[in-house]
Structure 1
Amino acid sequence: MYSIRSIVAAIVLLCSFAAFAQQPEGVLKVVAKKDKIEVTVARAPSPIRIVELQPYEATQSAVEKNAVTEIKKNGRKTVSIPRFDGKRDRIYSAFVAVSDNRPLGAKHFVEEWKGVSQFTEPYPKSKSKKGLQVQMVDDAIALGTKHAGLNLNFGTIISLKPESNDIAWEMDGRTFYFRRGAVEQTDQRIKTLSDDGMIVSLILLYYKNPDPELNKIMLHPNYDNAAPNHLSAFNTKTPEGLAWYKACMEFIAHRYSQPDERYGRAVNFIVGNEVNSHWFWANMGRVSMEDFARDYARTTRVSHTALRKFSSTGRVFISLEHHWAERYPGGDAMQAFPSKPFMDFFGMLSKTYGDFDWHVAFHPYPENLFESRTWNDKSALMSFDSPRITFKNIEVLPEYMKRRELLHNGKQRRIILSEQGFHSNENEEGELWQAAAYCYAYYKIDRIDGIDSFILHRHVDHGREGGLNLGLWRRNKETITEPSTKKPSYEVFRKADTPEWEKAFEFALPVIGIKSWKEIEPKKFKGGTP
């Protein structure tokens, strides 16, 4: 008969085994330092090999690779690996623990940075949230703009056949070249805007290029030539595509993060455009939400790593449009995904492979892009399951971002509204509605914590935007983008963040159907639920 002591000992032993079985295995954390990378692994019953993987390589492939180091002793341990393999920087790599011919847990990327960033300038503070996707730099300054959005198409700056005055960038023992003329045009715009105190956000894009050699490198391998807007997802799936993408990111991160701001300063880097409707704005063929998210997470992580090499405070953003719990109806399930499950899955991937501080660039257009009276949106509900998030229910987004699963190191990720605008019919009433819609939206956004900027799209009506007239300026109808005359929205934009705002906005009250701005104060949430 067993003694009580032996029974207790057996229970303790079984509990110990259960606790051991429940402990995470493999790589627990990766820390980058100036000259080394520290990899912490969980205890394991047998020797462990630490294997290095490129960002596009699967965890399982580690079984066939040589180790960069080995751990022979049992128990949790932190090992140091030289950060540089010759001239190649391992900071982009993932690390996997392999034992008994199988990977232990998932691959793990750098999630903590200590003394890595070349520049440590603080993130700039802004006087207001008023922003604009800038076409005319001088006019943006005259408008008192505080945030500027600029598109940067990588295809315009890459030089595969360099000329004598092109700009060289050294990375991983290889020289990459960038077109001096195109780069200096970008410099001039960024510097003029940032010198005026604007916070500059770069929207990173790749349009299918006339040069087939460039497309072989930069177009995503699964890009479909039927893509309606000729915008591709970035190619970080192949060795050459990854190399050039890293080079582009390092080049601009270094150039626009320097303390003397000789080329201007950009601090926000938005990876692609409205990627939850990828078929239209970040094409990688017909693909499931999960597969697209895995590919996009890799590219966003690479972007963040390149930025951290040079800036300790710059921010990387994912780009989402206003379809929240339902997808864009113009695409099927392999062409578009709702923002909410996409972001949730993206967040899970980030934490699984080593969390990093990505943020959200959201586009809360009205539910009908041709109807500016967003206060009437029927699909914008005060619920986490709202079909869309527009300015009517924009409070839902920062509240949702407070969920524990989406926090980074216990902190809420930042939100910028990087592209949205209001259509005006070509008559007096339509332009009045557009101006009133801006008043409605700006009043709300100015009073919501967690949203840093409201960047209006567009500066000038565009002749090739599907019939939309989103600008503060009317265009010359003989041209595509040449400004003609100002709309009423121009003045309300100019005065929105000044002491004159209330007088300038007063006309909008009866248009919206309210007597006081207090009637549209952002809704408060109780207990973390709407």
Structure 2
Amino acid sequence: MKILKKIICICLVAILAAGLFPGAQTEVYAAGKPVQLVSCKVNSVGSKVTVKAKVAGIQKGMGKKLYLFSVDANVKENAKLAGKPVASANFKKGTVTFSVKYKSSMLCQKFVAAYKKGKKYIAVSGAQYITNPEALASYTGTGVKTTSKKGLQPDWADHTSVKKLRTQHVVLNWSIEEILNKDCGNKEVYKYRGKKYTFDRDRVNWLQDQVRQYIDDGSKVYVILLLGKDAKGQAGKMSYGGGKIFSSIKTTSAAGCRTWEAFMSYMAEKFGNEQHLVSGWILGNEVDSPYDWNYAGGKSLSAYMDDYARAFRIAYNATKSVSSHSKVYISLDYNWNQDVDGGGNSFFSTKNTLDTFYSKLKAQGKICPNIAYHAYSQGLVEPKFWDDSLAGSGVDSTIITMKNISVLTEYVKKKIGKDATIMLAEQAFNSTQGEELQAATYAYAYYISEGNKMIESFIYARDTEPQSDVDQGFYWGLRDINGRERKVYNTFKVIDSKESLDKTKNLLCYTDLSSWTQIPGIKKSTFKNNRSIKNKWPLVQSTSLYVCLADDNWQRETTYVYDGKKHKPAVTVKRNYTGKTVPKKNYSVKYLTDCRSIGVHRIQIKLKGDFRGTIIREFTIAPQNAMLNDLVMTSNSATVSWNVPKKTKEQITGYMIQYTDGEGGFYSTPEKDIHLIKIKNSNKLKYTIKGLTKGKRYFVRITTYKTVMVDGKPKDIIAGWGYDDIKYDYATDPVVPEPDTEEDTLE
């Protein structure tokens, strides 16, 4: 947070009035247009997008057909549309439904309705993005299960404090240009929509290790993505190249927009799984103060939020399409109704920024944004937020601090909805008036957050205070610049324990309270179910464990062959690094499926005691395989026949045949040179492969398969590609067989 700016803000309050900040106009894109897109959703198997439109009226010259386009996010939808439509429907008044074959490029594109005039298509609606990207997610877990809102921005790569302090939420700052960086030693080339992007593999691996360690320490991880104003190379295509420190994400250009899509798609893949899960992404820092923290070229608020909302949407769709519970946040400071430059484009009030942002976002497909709010005390110097004179009790308050944080939460609940969450992502309290007061202020603020259901976490901004803070007179750290623990350090440690209220009652005399239970939502029983400060910490996370099924190796898929019987593999839980077996008292086992039919079966291992989380392991029951007969070859074909038990034929969907002319057979031939034939008929026992080359040797193998539904998506369960039943022969002119008294038959 820009210190000087916030201090100056206090002096400008007298000239501000609530009427200076009218709410942003809603539905700005659809205004005056006869067609409104009202729904845009992808199905769970990722095969179809359904777009619904409401037609208010048809004007003369629009024709009888309504067309649907998918266009890149940076394209202005009020322009003449290039390319070909992805769908069409009869142009009629009322509801019109489009069904579109889904392509991965559509995830971050927007859909626009148009009519045809001559050879041109004219946009006739506003735009809509896919609003349910989570339907595509491969990871549907929520990660670390937390029991409190206690969080910290730790010292860089320091896990020691996080573990000692029993921190349950961690916020990290990551530099985009250090990740998307071609000037590195170990490059990883990532292909996205036909273009190549270069990432620093070593950097990403290191970040994954950091995230994994924090998760194992019992913390959810959130990341602030920051783009330096002087970013170069591919990252530079997203930068506005101005301001003081950081740039907003530039999505107005095709290059900038596509690069941002690629970046977020890559990050979602790397940090959207249980082992390396980033639970939330914060876009930029204090976006209501663009000149200081999120420069966007001096744009008006409306144009600025057009750009920011577009970047937000891309991040939202990219991350949630991989991890369904991933969150994206807008970062805001405490200047609720305070515009520092009085109507200029360097600073905007927080409320006006939020209103305009949400208006832009909602107009192109309603989703639920989250807020990363900075709730420092007024002026940053005085820690006693309960004395903040500019923090009023209504929505017209000049600023919002911990004194009146409920103004923010109630406003967000009404404006956006109760599902929106607010992370208090950065605040700290000065110790210049004594360490006891600093500790008391922290406890007071933390309890306010615990009592407010709209607040998901309270992140303290400093572990060890840096020299830059000290130079400005801010002594915010849990530890001073030399690493000495202040009183607030121990307060932080116990604040969410079972003994919390008892351990902090001696701090009440430094506040305006006589009991912590005077805080709304705080009762004597609030922390009674939390872990005692005496108990072991951190609790062992599910990510620190692996599960063996029966006699399988470490995290190896277990497969049974279908025989009509139940198969319930025994479960053994072990520690990742030591291999030590976890006592059975620390987990329960539940088989979630029938464990009999062909398909994927799941086991739930629920941890308890000093272990935390739930592990889902899968095992497969596969069909019996077919047995190949000898190949019948000609100069350009091979007739393949096989035998299969009658009971197996009744259970399976069909067969898959692979063939190759590679010198090494199936052992060393590249996958691209192995051909696959899929036969969706279990009664068919012969197939002729055509188009072979005379004189070449061909290898053939077969497997049975059954298509089953897994998480709402079809999956083929195969018997397996064995090496013991491979047939091979040369494509050659047929040999006339000797007369045989017995006729060969094929069952």
Q: Same fold (TM over 0.5)?
A: yes
Q: 1:24 to 1:357 in 2, by over 3 A?
A: farther
The residue identity in structure 2 corresponding to 1:504 is: K
Give the 5 Å matches for 1:77-156: 77-84=96-103, 89-99=105-115, 102-113=122-133, 115-122=135-142, 124-135=144-155, 136-156=158-178
Give the 3-state SS of the residue equivalent to 1:295 in structure 2. Answer: helix
1:246 equivalent to 2:261? Answer: yes
Separation (CA, whole Å) in 2 of partners of 1:187 and 1:114: 22
Q: 1:28 to 1:380 in 2, by over 3 A?
A: same
1:69-110 CA distances to partner (integer Å, 9 max, x unpaired)? 3223535332222322xxx61111111111265432311111
State the match for 1:502 in structure 2.
501
1:194 equivalent to 2:215? Answer: yes
Separation (CA, whole Å) in 1 of partners of 2:318 and 2:260: 10
CA RMSD of aligned residues (A): 2.3
State the match for 1:206 in structure 2.
227
Separation (CA, whole Å) in 1 of partners of 2:318 and 2:506: 47
Deviation at 1:208, TM superposition (A): 2.8
State the match for 2:428 in structure 1.
421
Separation (CA, whole Å) in 2 of partners of 1:309 and 1:180: 23
State the match for 1:468 in structure 2.
474
State the match for 1:42 in structure 2.
54
Separation (CA, whole Å) in 1 of partners of 2:206 and 2:195: 25
Higher helix share: 1
Verify the 8 A CA contact 1:32 1:91 in the aligned structure 2.
no
1:278 equivalent to 2:290? Answer: yes
Separation (CA, whole Å) in 1 of partners of 2:229 and 2:82: 36
Give the 5 Å matches for 1:453-492: 453-465=457-469, 466-476=472-482, 484-492=483-491
Deviation at 1:344, TM superposition (A): 1.6
Give the 3-state SS of the residue equivalent to 2:484 in structure 1. Answer: strand
Q: Which moved more, 1:174-183 or 1:58-67?
A: 58-67
Separation (CA, whole Å) in 1 of partners of 2:416 and 2:227: 28
Aligned counterpart in structure 1 of residue 383 of structure 2, from 372, 380, 389? 372
Aligned counterpart in structure 1 of residue 71 of structure 2, from 31, 46, 53? 53
The residue identity in structure 2 corresponding to 1:250 is: S
Verify the 8 A CA contact 1:162 1:177 in the aligned structure 2.
no
The residue identity in structure 2 corresponding to 1:417 is: L
State the match for 2:513 in structure 1.
514
Q: Which moved more, 1:301-310 or 1:231-240?
A: 231-240
- Gaps spanning 5+ residues in structure 2: where? 1-30, 59-63, 523-747
Verify the 8 A CA contact 1:48 1:99 in the aligned structure 2.
yes
Separation (CA, whole Å) in 1 of partners of 2:166 and 2:342: 38
The residue identity in structure 1 corresponding to 2:166 is: G
Separation (CA, whole Å) in 1 of partners of 2:131 and 2:50: 11
1:28 equivalent to 2:27? Answer: no
Decide which structure has the larger Cα Rg and report it.
Answer: 2
Separation (CA, whole Å) in 2 of partners of 1:29 and 1:353: 10
Deviation above 6 Å: which 4+ runs of structure 1? 21-24
State the match for 1:387 in structure 2.
398
State the match for 2:194 in structure 1.
173
Give the 3-state SS of the residue equivalent to 1:493 in structure 2. Answer: helix
Verify the 8 A CA contact 1:37 1:80 in the aligned structure 2.
yes
Higher strand share: 2
Verify the 8 A CA contact 1:249 1:307 in the aligned structure 2.
yes
Separation (CA, whole Å) in 2 of partners of 1:182 and 1:331: 42
Verify the 8 A CA contact 1:53 1:62 in the aligned structure 2.
no
Separation (CA, whole Å) in 1 of partners of 2:197 and 2:349: 38
Aligned counterpart in structure 1 of residue 369 of structure 2, from 333, 358, 361? 358
Separation (CA, whole Å) in 1 of partners of 2:510 and 2:376: 19
Give the 3-state SS of the residue equivalent to 1:159 in structure 2. Answer: coil
Separation (CA, whole Å) in 1 of partners of 2:367 and 2:331: 16
Verify the 8 A CA contact 1:132 1:458 in the aligned structure 2.
yes
State the match for 2:358 in structure 1.
347
The residue identity in structure 2 corresponding to 1:134 is: P
Deviation at 1:285, TM superposition (A): 2.6
Separation (CA, whole Å) in 2 of partners of 1:382 and 1:24: 42
Deviation at 1:55, TM superposition (A): 0.9
Verify the 8 A CA contact 2:336 2:351 in the aligned structure 1.
yes
1:216 equivalent to 2:236? Answer: yes
Verify the 8 A CA contact 1:126 1:199 in the aligned structure 2.
yes
Verify the 8 A CA contact 1:117 1:309 in the aligned structure 2.
yes
Give the 3-state SS of the residue equivalent to 1:251 in structure 2. Answer: helix
1:343-394 CA distances to partner (integer Å, 9 max, x unpaired)? 1222221221111221111111111111111111011111111111100111
TM-score (norm 2): 0.61
Deviation at 1:277, TM superposition (A): 1.0
- Gaps spanning 5+ residues in structure 1: where? 1-20, 477-483, 524-530
Deviation at 1:162, TM superposition (A): 5.8
Deviation at 1:161, TM superposition (A): 4.6
Q: Which has the higher contact order (CA 8 A, sep 6+)?
A: 1
Separation (CA, whole Å) in 2 of partners of 1:280 and 1:430: 31
1:238-274 CA distances to partner (integer Å, 9 max, x unpaired)? 2222222222212221212224x1xx22111111111
Give the 3-state SS of the residue equivalent to 1:89 in structure 2. Answer: helix
Separation (CA, whole Å) in 2 of partners of 1:334 and 1:395: 28
Separation (CA, whole Å) in 2 of partners of 1:398 and 1:277: 21
Q: Which moved more, 1:127-136 or 1:235-244?
A: 235-244
Separation (CA, whole Å) in 2 of partners of 1:147 and 1:331: 36
- Count of residues in Structure 1 that have an aligned counterpart in Structure 2: 475
Deviation at 1:125, TM superposition (A): 3.2
